[in-house]
Amino acid sequence: MRAAVKATLFQLHSIVGLALALLLTLIAVTGAMMSFEDEILAGLNARLMRVEPRATARLLPDELIGRVQAANDNPVASITLSRDPAAAVRIRFARNEDRSRPSSLYVDPYDGRVLGHPAGEEFFATVRKLHRWLLLPGDGKGYGRLITGIAALALIAMLISGLVLRWPHRPGSLKIWLKPNLRLHGRGLHRSLHSVVGTWAMLIYLVMVLTGLWWSFDWYKAGATWLFARAPAAAEPMPAKAPGGKAARAERPVTSAATPAAQLDRAWASLLQERGDAFASARLTLPSGAEPAIRVRAWLSEPADGRHDDLKFDAATGAPLSRELYAGKTTGERLLARVLDIHRGAFLGWPGKLLFMLAALAMPLFAVTGLLLYLSRRRHQRMTRAAVARLVPGE
């Protein structure tokens, strides 16, 4: 029975691995390329992202957007402001009709001078689309999302079957588990590298897959939210006063489709009044048809990570509507908030990102050694059949 189970798992492992080798390699390598995206972009665009601090007051969001919008036909979608006096302001534009997004823009916060478009942003945007959706039409709503999700589920099956297949007779021996036998040659060396390096990376791959499924399937995301978040997971209302002294009702709807010039200024003032020095930078997203309110994501540290507060402000008055603070989240909710950091190892700092990047770059090794082992088995089977065919009846 044990031999039959192992034979079945071996066939499953081989077939799935051969079928998805190139796809999994593509997903892993593109993920590795994005491991240090923030650091690479910061290095490439140091002159754009940093300005000389001055004694004059920095411009408010509406003035900055107005100056950018006067020289650019693309509507502004969001503006990111930092508490750091030497940080430039980042402007992001709304998507075009074909769902593409124009390159963002960096602006001097003191005089509104346009500093330029960041180098490398479009490259990493393409790599991200390739990693998540294989550059297929529809982006997150197309078939690419489903294909990468199925590949992730298949990788879980391969990890489990691979663990069962390589379970040694002496499981307590670390040497068997973790040390490849480099004195071997050919098929023996390929098998040793495939199994031992797979053991090293198995836990990391499992973390990558379990977090990556968050972006692949709505049912998985809903299930994780049900499991880790409190029910109902509603944002805390903020019955605060708008800047200027007039009280604002939290349930007040936004009736105008256009955004008056002073709204972002008031929302920014409300954020400063509400959070004070408790955040490092904040992205203010302008109202849209789907969300008729000013949405603010305030990151608690720089560089920005999953630790952030989410707030909403009235689009007509700038008065606070609701807040979802990181400090008030449970442990499970904090895990959900930092799912991207966990996915790429950033929750362990730069050593974690480096470790996850190396594990991702090891995926081609499994594709190559797995293919070589398959070809070796086929060659061995042909030689065995030929030897049997040459036997004389009765021997």
* Measured CA angle at 132 (ends 126, 135), to 5 deg: 50
CB 293 within 8 A of CB 285: no
**pLDDT one-digit tens code per residue, 192-206:** 899 999 999 999 999
Residue 120 has pLDDT above 60, yes or no: yes
- Integer Cα distance of 253 and 262 in angstroms: 18
Q: What is the mean pLDDT of residues 229-242?
A: 59
Q: What is the mean pLDDT of residues 50-79?
A: 92
Residue 98 has pLDDT above 80, yes or no: no
- Integer Cα distance of 3 and 18 in angstroms: 22
**pLDDT one-digit tens code per residue, 315-328:** 888 888 999 999 99
Least confident of 33-37, 75-79, 300-304, 389-393: 389-393
**pLDDT one-digit tens code per residue, 298-353:** 999 988 889 999 999 988 888 889 999 999 999 999 999 999 999 999 999 999 99
- Integer Cα distance of 76 and 240 in angstroms: 28
- Integer Cα distance of 320 and 270 in angstroms: 7
**392 pLDDT band (50/70/90 cuts)?**
low
**pLDDT one-digit tens code per residue, 14-25:** 999 999 999 999
The strand pair at 76-82 and 236-237 is best described as unpaired
